[in-house]
Amino acid sequence: MGKVVNIQPVTRIEGHAKVAIHLDDAGNVADTRLHIQTLRGFEKFVEGRPVEEMPRIVCHICGICPWSHHLASSKAGDACFGVTPPPAAVKLRRLMQMIAYVGDKLLHFYFLAAPDFLIGPDADYAVRNVVGILSAAPDIAKQVVHYRHLTAQILENFAGRAIHPTFSIPGGVSKPMTEAERLEMLDHAKGLLDFSKFTIKFAKENVFAKYMDAIKALGVIKVGYLGLVTDDGTLDFYDGKLRMMRPDGTYDDFADDAYLDHIGEHVEPWSYQKFPYAKTWGDGPVMDLDNPVGVYRTNCLARINVCDKMATPLAQTELEEFRDNFGRPAHLTLLYHYARLIELLQCAEHTVELLEDPEITSPDIHTKVVPRTGRGVGCVEAPRGTLIHDYESNDEGLISRANLIVGTTHNNAAMNLSVKQAAKELIKDGTYDQAILNKVEMAIRAYDP
């Protein structure tokens, strides 16, 4: 075996990873690996904790999508205790999730992904970053900083904390919304919707149209997809059934608490992150580029593929245009960036809808709970993919067992395949440079890990 080319750390992602590209004696790619290097072990250290404390513990899994973990955990807690939160509580949970999503999507597109497209994938690393964007497009950058920050301020003003919230608890939420709060938030929400409309238009003109060649080539793999949909197949971030789609577009739907029948997790000695796979698609997982088995993806491209339709009118128009161009399922990896912005639009539209719903200010925000022995599975869609929080509680309402499969973990096998595909396409005869290695990283960044 020839040399190993290391990319360490993988940058402009939200975690700790290293890529090792193994070259053969001729300098061509023999194998690649994406090593996930950190492990915190939440599933173990939450054992013994009170179920009602869980939403404010597990939110710390991710400081970028704490609201998603917070809500998946609250739903698992509702189910452990066998309670249904009142409608206003569910609407407030959804509202918080949507506002957090808008901030997250602006963050990923402009701060993490855009430097590769607006500054250029070959540019010097010293300018290929958000500070470079500040110089290159100061007016847009100022608006991005403003609107992303606004999402945090809205959350904080109402729910106390934008990062690592405490607002949602088993049975409902901790406080109702007043009419004055609703009106103020609605005003801000309309501003966010306008900026979201601008963003997708801007990206279609300045990124997707210009980089179509790269989109058609970089990190492309053909695997399956997982995401939540409502009973009528609408994309939903908070609730619904799980839909698992094969690479050919056929799919199975199942209830979230049946996930163990459909999803297994494989361990490799070279990564702390496990490799979830579809159990019913043959003897997986096999991370073979030409013939992958059991590999599926989550996050926005997966959701856009598995849903029959979007929940809001502007997002639906965008989905139709997207499907006309790329089909269903769309497999091109860089289309994650496009799918992300279609979702941004749904989140911004849904935020306004929720705030225009008079029921959202109802004072009835909590259903009484009594600790009991139970099991609860809570699923929501986090920006980075489906969250599965599966808890068992004892008679005192303490966690006796917790199993978590979260966002980016689902994408582990697929990211490994995309890295392999990109490296094989780009590195030939031992020739590579920082620009080529950055393009390999772009295949990872699309997944927003």
Nearer to another protein, 123 or 311 (CB): 123
* Rounded Cα distance, 417 and 219, in Å: 8
- Interacting residue with another protein among 71, 72, 88, 112 (CB under 8 A): 112
* Rounded Cα distance, 22 and 42, in Å: 33
Q: CB atoms < 10 A from the CB of 375, how many? A: 14
Nearer to another protein, 92 or 341 (CB): 92
Site residues (CB under 8 A) for another protein, limited to 140-169: 142, 145-146, 148-149, 152-153, 156, 159-167, 169
Nearer to another protein, 221 or 405 (CB): 405
Asked whether 10 and 26 are in contact (CB, 8 A), the reply is no
Q: Is 387 in the site for another protein (CB under 8 A)?
A: no
Q: Which stretch binds another protein (CB under 8 A): 198-206, 237-245, 352-360, 426-434?
A: 426-434
Q: Which stretch binds another protein (CB under 8 A): 23-31, 35-43, 224-232, 335-343?
A: 35-43
- Cβ at position 393, least distance to another protein in Å: 12
- Cβ at position 234, least distance to another protein in Å: 27
- Interacting residue with another protein among 129, 298, 316, 346 (CB under 8 A): 129
Longest dimension (CA), the chain: 70
Nearer to another protein, 160 or 327 (CB): 160
- Interacting residue with another protein among 23, 29, 61, 228 (CB under 8 A): 61
Q: Which stretch binds another protein (CB under 8 A): 52-60, 196-204, 291-299, 344-352?
A: 52-60
Site residues (CB under 8 A) for another protein, limited to 264-293: 264-272, 274, 276
Site residues (CB under 8 A) for another protein, limited to 345-374: 363, 366, 368-369, 371
- Cβ at position 441, least distance to another protein in Å: 8
- Cβ at position 388, least distance to another protein in Å: 8
Q: Which stretch binds another protein (CB under 8 A): 62-70, 215-223, 248-256, 344-352?
A: 62-70
- Cβ at position 35, least distance to another protein in Å: 4
Site residues (CB under 8 A) for another protein, limited to 427-446: 432-434, 437-438, 441
Nearer to another protein, 66 or 378 (CB): 66
Nearer to another protein, 235 or 388 (CB): 388
Nearer to another protein, 252 or 265 (CB): 265
